[in-house]
Structures are given as C-alpha cells and as structure tokens.
C-alpha cells in the first residue's frame, strides 16, 4: 500500500506536468511580433522569459476584423505588482480565456473590471497578499526592482478575485489595457518625466488607445481554418508577425524538457518494483509463522491449486485494498482540497481516473498476483512433518 501511495504522488506530479500544457485551451492562435514561437507562448501565457517584439495595435484591430476570427484578446505586459506580472487586457479576457479542459475563468468574489483604474487579482496573489475587495493597490514599472519606479500616483482598486485555476492566471493582476497607457502618459524612455505629472483624474482627457501590445489571443469560428489564418498572418507585408498554435509550441517545449517526465516515470516503475518486492518478502517471511496452518491444510487434502489460490487471493486483497485507498484519497482531495490542489497546479485537470491510470492499477493487481507464485510454491514444498512437529 505504501508503494501505491508513492505511485499516487508520482501520478500527481505527472498531472502537474500535464497541467503545464493545459494552462491555455480554446485559443486557436497566439499572435505577436516576429519571434520564436516558444518565446511568444512562454511570455504571453506563462509570463516567462524575455519579451518578444511588440505588435502594433492596428494589427490587432485588423485581426479582429478578419471574418474567420470569432474573438480576440489583446495582452499588454511589462509592469508588475510586488513581483507578480500585470496583464493589461479587455473584458473579453474573462469571457473567452479558457484553461484545462476548456474551463472558463470564474470569479470567486466581485466582478470584472469596468473602470479605468480597477483590477482583478488572481487567487494565489490575493491569498499571499491578503487582498480583499475594495482594497487599493499600486503597480510598478517593469519588474519593480528599482527604487522610484512605482506608479504610486495612480492606484488601482481591487474589484474582483479570481477562483483558483492552477495556472499563471493565479499569480497575475488583470487591469484594463487602457490603464497601461494611462500609467505611462507622464513617462518618457522608461522613466518618469522630470517635473511633469498627470493626475489620475485627468488621464481620461487623453487618447488612451494602446499604440502597441505584446500579444493577441485569437479564437476562430472554425478550427479547421487555423492553418490558413496562420499562413496569412505570418505572410503579412505591413508588419512582421508570428502566429503560433499553442498546442504545437508546447509540444516543442515537451521535446526539450520531456527528459524530466521520463525520469519521473522511471522512478514510478522503480517504486512499483520495490513495492512488489516488499510484498513478496513479507509473504515469504510470513510462511515461517504459518507452517502449521499450511501443514493442516495439506493434511486435509489441499492441493497445489488450493494453496496457490489462497496466497494469490491474499496478495490480490492487499493490492486491491491499496488501490481502493488510493482512489479514495484522490476523491477526498478532489472534493475537499480544491484550493490546495490549485496551489500545486492540479485544479486545471479533471481529477477523475483516466484510462492510462486504470491500466496502471490493473497492472499493479496483476503484478500482485504474480509475486504470490513463489510463496505459494514454497508453501507447497514444505513437508507435513515440518509443519506439524513443533520446533524446540
């Protein structure tokens, strides 16, 4: 049973690796400036790595007008809040962004932003910082590592807290994309313009239409048109753009880091082998204490099939009990530990037992039967006199 619990831990880790690939779903294309596809996906979805080249806002609007495009989500990144990324976007982000098995974002508290200086925070960020609705927060320029780079003159109000997703959304702040432009009206070349400041109540007098964004997520009316739309975008003459299918890019990532998953799988098989070896050792050791029981069964006419069936049934019972306890543990964690699972990236996946795990459980049960063959043969080889005559 201990081996099965260890296997459950390994299965949970493998689910977390799978969850990395399910951090975005339902998005047909991610479009940004000309860059490596993996760089674009990592930055747009996971907010990792160096920022790819920007794309013009006009290009995003042109994409939205394409007859094949059903919806689009612009993303403006670069600012932060206590080290957490800030995502400038639109209300379509909450309507169309999906993760896991096409699960939509859900607000645990509050509502999506509607005002210029309103923010929606992720579950992990809210829990770590202790944020509540109506609380005022300040953003920082860039990663906020340099003193004096805060946008403290334009605070935001928390109007929504997202439910846990187990993705990068939990560790981000979502704000209106126009507010990103408003924060930088009085900035020049990445620094605050000396002697020049525009108060928060005056920014609405300016044109806050973004000039450039980092990426644009696209959803199509028909997924079969994705290759044609991708080719058109990559061949644009007005601007050098890259259109990426997220699933393809993440598959390329797995080819790079898949060695870690294979190592975990090898460790899982090793744990299984050790567990089965321990089960065999316990059964063999128990035969010495059951000599009289086996001898009495032999004297009553029990043949090889009876002894074999008895020990195999015992081994199967132990294996089945461990499997049932493992399934019960998963069910309880799913029912009671949703937030805890989300903190480890498991909430983005359906935690029901899938076909591959059922096959693994079946393999464990069959292996448990096989390891009982040696103890059964050993029990049959014991003589009647060895079991019936007491040892002094």
* Better-scored residue on pLDDT, 265 or 44: 44
Residue 89 clears pLDDT 90, i.e. is over it: yes
pLDDT of res. 101:
78
How many residues comprise the chain?
392
Mean pLDDT over residues 161-168, rounded? 90
Distant-in-sequence, close-in-space partners of 72: CB < 8 Å, separation ≥ 6: 60, 63, 64, 92, 216, 217, 218, 219
Q: How confident is the model at residue 15 (pLDDT cuts 50, 70, 90)?
A: very low
Do the beta carbons of residue 39 and residue 52 sit within 8 Å? yes
Backbone angles phi, psi at 351, to 5 degrees: -90, 15
* Better-scored residue on pLDDT, 174 or 3: 174
68, 69, 67, 87: which is closest to 77 by C-alpha?
A: 87
Do the beta carbons of residue 33 and residue 54 sit within 8 Å? yes
Q: Give per-residue pLDDT as tens, 349-392.
A: 455 566 777 777 788 788 877 887 787 777 766 655 555 555 54
* Better-scored residue on pLDDT, 336 or 385: 336
Q: How confident is the model at residue 17 (pLDDT cuts 50, 70, 90)?
A: very low
This prediction's pTM: 0.66
pLDDT of res. 365:
81
pLDDT of res. 340:
58
Residue 137 clears pLDDT 90, i.e. is over it: yes
Q: Give per-residue pLDDT as tens, 60-79.
A: 999 999 999 999 999 999 89
Could you give the CA distance from residue 244 to residue 171 in angstroms, rounded to a whole number?
Answer: 24
Q: Give per-residue pLDDT as tens, 276-294.
A: 788 788 877 777 667 677 7
Could you give the CA distance from residue 94 to residue 42 in angstroms, rounded to a whole number?
Answer: 20
Mean pLDDT over residues 227-231, rounded? 93
DSSP string, 17-57: HHHHHTSSBS--EEEEES--HHHHHIIIII--SSPPPPEEH
Specify the residue for token string 């909450």. Answer: 94
pLDDT of res. 1:
45
Q: Give per-residue pLDDT as tens, 175-218.
A: 999 999 998 888 776 677 777 778 888 888 899 999 999 999 99
Residue 3 clears pLDDT 50, i.e. is over it: no
Do the beta carbons of residue 381 and residue 285 sit within 8 Å? no
Q: How confident is the model at residue 109 (pLDDT cuts 50, 70, 90)?
A: very high
348, 350, 351: which is closest to 106 by C-alpha?
A: 348
* Better-scored residue on pLDDT, 86 or 380: 86
* Better-scored residue on pLDDT, 269 or 223: 223
* Better-scored residue on pLDDT, 16 or 146: 146
* Better-scored residue on pLDDT, 173 or 379: 173
Query: Within a 10 A sphere around the Cβ of 383, how many other Cβ atoms?
Result: 11
């Amino acid at each position: 049973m201990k081996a099965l619990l260890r296997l459950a831990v390994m299965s949970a880790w493998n689910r977390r690796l799978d969850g990395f690939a399910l951090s975005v779903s339902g998005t047909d294309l991610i479009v940004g400036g000309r860059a490596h596809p993996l760089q674009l996906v990592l930055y747009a979805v996971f907010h990792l790595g160096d920022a790819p080249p920007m794309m013009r806002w006009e290009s995003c609007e042109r994409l939205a007008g394409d007859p094949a495009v059903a919806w689009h989500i612009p993303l403006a990144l670069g600012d932060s809040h206590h080290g957490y990324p800030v995502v400038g976007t639109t209300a379509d982000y909450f309507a169309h962004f999906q993760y896991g098995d096409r699960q939509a974002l859900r607000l645990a508290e509050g509502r999506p932003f509607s005002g210029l200086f309103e923010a929606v925070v992720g579950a992990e960020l809210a829990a770590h910082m202790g944020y509540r609705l109506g609380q005022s927060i300040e953003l920082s320029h860039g990663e906020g590592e340099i003193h004096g780079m805060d946008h403290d003159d334009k605070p935001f109000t928390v109007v929504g807290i997202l439910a846990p997703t187990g993705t990068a959304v939990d560790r981000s702040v979502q704000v209106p994309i126009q507010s990103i432009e408003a924060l930088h009206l009085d900035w020049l070349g990445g620094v605050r313009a000396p002697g020049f400041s525009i108060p928060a109540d005056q920014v609405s007098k300016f044109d806050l239409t973004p000039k450039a964004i980092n990426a644009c997520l696209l959803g199509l009316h028909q997924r079969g048109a994705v290759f044609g739309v991708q080719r058109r975008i990559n061949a644009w003459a007005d601007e050098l753009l890259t259109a990426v299918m997220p699933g393809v890019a993440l598959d390329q990532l797995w080819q790079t880091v898949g060695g870690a998953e294979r190592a975990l799988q090898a460790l899982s098989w090793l744990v299984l082998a050790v567990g089965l070896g321990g089960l065999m050792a316990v059964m063999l050791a128990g035969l010495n204490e059951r000599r009289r029981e086996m001898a009495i069964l032999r004297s009553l006419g029990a043949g090889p099939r009876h002894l074999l069936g008895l020990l195999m049934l015992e081994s199967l019972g132990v294996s089945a009990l461990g499997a049932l306890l493992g399934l019960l543990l998963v069910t309880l964690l799913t029912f009671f530990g949703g937030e805890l699972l989300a903190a480890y990236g498991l909430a983005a996946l359906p935690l029901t037992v899938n076909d591959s795990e059922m096959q693994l459980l079946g393999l464990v049960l069959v292996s448990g039967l096989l390891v009982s063959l040696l103890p059964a043969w050993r029990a049959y080889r014991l003589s009647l006199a060895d079991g019936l005559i007491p040892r002094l």
